[in-house]
């Protein structure tokens, strides 16, 4: 058999820059309490969300993703023409066909890159980051743009108090490139498909349903081990973690995970859920962008990431921040 050639690849991959887009319209709990039987006190105490952003008609998934991707490109110092892979993690495309990554790449001016959408629930961006890093390490790509974008309000019954208080819109992105020093650790990813109906759009319905308590139990009982394993595989421990940025679904889950991991007091914990709500695939890059913009997170910080959600899916990894 004739052996095939493989490209030389790279020792590792790293993130060069982040970008984000938050829709203009803020929706407070008090506003929601005017249209459904809920209260600011209930939402803040159970979920930790104070407000969220809902996209207006002109803030389409493509426009939000292009805005976040453009900012990530600007932060990276690369040009759109350097990008040869564009990944869009999303669970809320307006149509099944076509995927949106090619159009987003085109609007950004990237010439004919590999481009595809990834639907791995709220874990999508962490899956996509790992896929991009692996493509770069194997030599399939040189520079990747990894976007998490959602218009979850298109798939949420905005009068259903169980879901309307939680889900929201936005986009976050990062540019990933080759690196001699690995700065994106191995992903620990997996799925529990026996729970596939826990977060789903039921037959004959247009809005999402979520078995909140079941997902809460799953997240708090099964995912700490994933985080521990992600640290182990990257060769770091809890004391090395400068930033903890798990999926922004529920503040109580975030705090509980941080406590179980015994992260040091100095670790900065992402609490973007308070003002962004649950933006699914966008939540981790949105949270990291905010921490870097505010100066709470710094270049060179070691960050522990985790995505989890519909599927049910999960993916965690350690990265060094740009």
Catalogue the active-site residues: 122, 247, 278
- Based on CB atoms, which residue is closest to ligand COA, 21 or 155? 155
Based on CB atoms, which residue is closest to ligand COA, 130 or 281?
A: 281
Residues forming contacts to ligand COA in the complex (CB under 6 A) are 38, 42-43, 46-47, 122, 161-162, 165, 199, 212-213, 215-216, 219, 249-250, 253, 278, 309
The CB-of-253 to ligand COA minimum distance in angstroms stands at: 6
> Is the separation of the CB atoms in 300 and 75 below 8 Å?
no
Peptide bond preceding 77 in cis form (omega within 30 of 0):
no
- Shorter beta-carbon distance to ligand COA: residue 9 or 212: 212
For 139, the 3-state DSSP assignment is coil
How distant, in Å, are the alpha carbons of 28, 67, 70, 86 from that of 31? 5, 27, 32, 37
282, 280, 268: which is closest to 308 by C-alpha? Answer: 280
Secondary structure percentages of the chain, helix, strand, coil, to 5: 40, 25, 35
Indicate the residue among 122 and 258 with the shorter CB distance to ligand COA: 122
Give residue number: closest CB to ligand COA. Answer: 212
| Phi/psi of residue 87, nearest 5 degrees | -115, 130
| Residue 281 Cβ vs ligand COA, minimum distance, rounded to whole Å | 10
Q: What are phi and psi of 41, to 5 degrees?
A: -60, -45
Q: Least separation, in Å, of the C-beta of 275 and ligand COA?
A: 17
């Amino acid at each position: 058999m004739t052996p095939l050639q493989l490209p030389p690849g790279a020792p590792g991959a790293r993130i060069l820059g982040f970008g984000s887009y938050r829709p203009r319209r803020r929706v407070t709990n008090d506003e929601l309490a005017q249209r459904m039987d809920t209260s600011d006190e209930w939402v803040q105490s159970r979920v930790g969300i104070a407000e969220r952003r809902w996209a207006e008609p002109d803030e389409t998934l493509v426009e939000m993703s292009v805005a976040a991707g453009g900012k990530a490109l600007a932060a990276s110092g690369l040009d759109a023409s350097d990008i040869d892979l564009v990944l869009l993690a999303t669970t809320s495309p307006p149509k099944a066909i076509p995927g949106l990554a090619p159009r987003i790449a085109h609007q950004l001016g990237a010439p004919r890159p590999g481009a595809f959408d990834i639907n791995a629930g709220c874990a999508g961006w962490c899956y996509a980051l790992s896929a991009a890093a692996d493509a770069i390490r194997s030599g399939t790509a040189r520079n990747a743009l990894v976007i998490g974008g959602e218009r979850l309000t298109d798939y949420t019954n905005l009068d259903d108090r169980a879901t309307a208080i939680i889900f929201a819109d936005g986009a976050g992105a990062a540019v990933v490139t080759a690196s001699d020093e690995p700065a994106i650790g191995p992903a620990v990813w997996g799925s529990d498909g026996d729970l596939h109906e826990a977060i789903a759009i039921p037959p004959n319905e247009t809005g999402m349903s979520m078995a909140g308590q079941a997902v809460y139990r799953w997240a708090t009982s099964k995912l700490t081990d994933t985080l521990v394993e992600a640290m182990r595989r990257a060769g770091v421990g809890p004391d090395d973690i400068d930033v903890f940025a798990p999926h922004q679904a529920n503040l109580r889950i975030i705090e509980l995970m941080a406590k179980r991991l015994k992260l040091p007091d100095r670790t900065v914990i992402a609490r973007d859920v308070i003002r962004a709500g649950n933006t699914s695939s966008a939540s981790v890059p949105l949270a990291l962008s905010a921490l870097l913009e505010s100066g709470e997170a710094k270049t060179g910080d070691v960050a522990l990431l985790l995505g989890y959600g519909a599927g049910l899916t999960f993916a965690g990894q350690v990265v060094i921040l740009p």
